């Protein structure tokens, strides 16, 4: 059954929210033949992910998705439109009042879904899919992504894992991709990507890599960590293509990458440092060891969420490797010195590599979000 979908996205933290909703919108169109309209309040940021888009064009179509400018300011009220069959309020953004009126006026009211932030906490399983009564006789359902069969799963394109494995088994394809980005690592150097928030731990981690007896080529896309990196390097401004050598560490600044190219960067690296939600999930599909910089919250509330994921992720690891991994993640997310945890983690590398692929295989056996959403709608009708 083909249905109309409206996805509302308020761009809060650079590319995280729009990254997730843009992937979801494309997947609903490409894999489920749904009619999708993506409402975005920051077309400038959207254009970074979709370079062919025009930030001045209020309505445009890309990859089969209608992308619509969402004006939220009081001086620019929401333009009246017919409400869709399914309405997704991404990450607790607030729908316009006149749009909610349109949802209620339909002969069959719209299915209203609140797509929540990703969490591995235990309570998510019990809250996924629960309704909440709203004014005008509407109900809103809470839809939780997650890591267990009791949740809505994770965003994953239908052939993603097979495509990734083919790429990683083809050295020529990897080399061609790296060459296109101007990446030419020295023979036997470890390739590492870095995409993170501001972090006090960065200098100690980089010092450890620079002093190592093994060469590391660090690849850094644009992001909030750049200011810390400039401070460590002692330079005022870093630009795309810049490279700096410090001991065994070679640092290279990358251009802004499309989502497809960022996936291939993760697939190409031996280790990936990621942040937030979108890159966090994509690192898991890469089947490589990774380090997650969770979004910092007041009173260290994020550490509880970090530990909830680690409890799941560390299942099946030996005690020594589990301890080393958790210490490394905690040091990075607490602004601590990384020297000891980095050295301990390197000793566990073969087990970590095998575990990363096994974890990906386990997750990929579960439903993906787009399929779960379509099934939820069909059961609701």
Residue 17 bears catalytic tag: yes
Q: Which of 6, 42, 263, 277 is catalytic?
A: 277
Q: Which of 17, 42, 85, 351 is catalytic?
A: 17
Query: Which are the contacts of 179, defined by CB distance < 8 A and separation ≥ 6?
Result: none
Residue 116 bears catalytic tag: no
Distance, in Å, from the CA atom of 329 to the CA atom of 290, rounded to the nearest integer, reads: 9
Catalytic residues: 17, 277
């Amino acid at each position: 059954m083909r249905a109309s979908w409206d996805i509302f996205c308020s761009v809060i933290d650079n590319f995280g929210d729009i990254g997730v909703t843009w992937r979801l919108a494309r997947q609903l169109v490409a894999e489920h033949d749904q009619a999708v309209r993506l409402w975005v309040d920051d077309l400038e940021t959207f254009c970074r992910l979709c370079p062919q888009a025009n930030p001045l064009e209020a309505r445009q179509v890309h990859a089969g998705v209608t992308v619509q400018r969402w004006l939220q300011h009081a001086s620019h009220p929401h333009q009246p439109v017919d409400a869709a069959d399914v309405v997704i309020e991404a990450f607790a953004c607030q729908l316009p009042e006149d749009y909610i009126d349109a949802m209620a006026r339909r002969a069959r009211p719209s299915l209203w879904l609140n797509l929540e932030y990703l969490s591995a906490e235990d309570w998510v399983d019990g809250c996924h899919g629960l309704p909440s009564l709203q004014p005008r006789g509407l109900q809103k359902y809470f839809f939780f992504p997650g890591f267990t069969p009791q949740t809505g799963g994770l965003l994953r394109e239908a052939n993603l894992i097979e495509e990734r494995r083919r790429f990683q088994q083809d050295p020529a394809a990897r080399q061609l991709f790296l060459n296109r980005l101007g990446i030419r690592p020295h023979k036997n150097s470890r390739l590492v990507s870095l995409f993170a928030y501001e972090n006090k731990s960065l200098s100690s981690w980089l010092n450890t890599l620079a002093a190592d007896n093994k060469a590391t080529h660090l690849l850094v896309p644009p992001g909030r960590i750049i200011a810390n990196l400039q401070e460590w390097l002692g330079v005022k401004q870093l630009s795309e293509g810049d490279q700096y050598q410090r001991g065994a560490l070679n640092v290279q600044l990358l251009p802004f990458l499309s989502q497809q190219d960022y996936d291939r960067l993760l697939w190409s690296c031996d280790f990936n440092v990621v942040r937030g939600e979108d890159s966090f999930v994509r690192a898991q599909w890469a089947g490589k060891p990774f380090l997650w910089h969770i979004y910092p919250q007041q009173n260290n509330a994020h550490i509880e969420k970090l530990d909830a994921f680690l409890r799941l992720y560390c299942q099946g690891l030996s005690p020594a490797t589990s301890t080393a991994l958790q210490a490394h993640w905690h040091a990075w997310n607490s602004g601590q010195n990384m020297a000891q945890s980095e050295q301990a983690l390197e000793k566990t590398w073969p087990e970590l590599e095998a575990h990363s692929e096994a974890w990906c295989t386990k997750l990929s056996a579960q439903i993906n979000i787009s399929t779960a959403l379509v099934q939820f709608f069909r059961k609701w009708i």
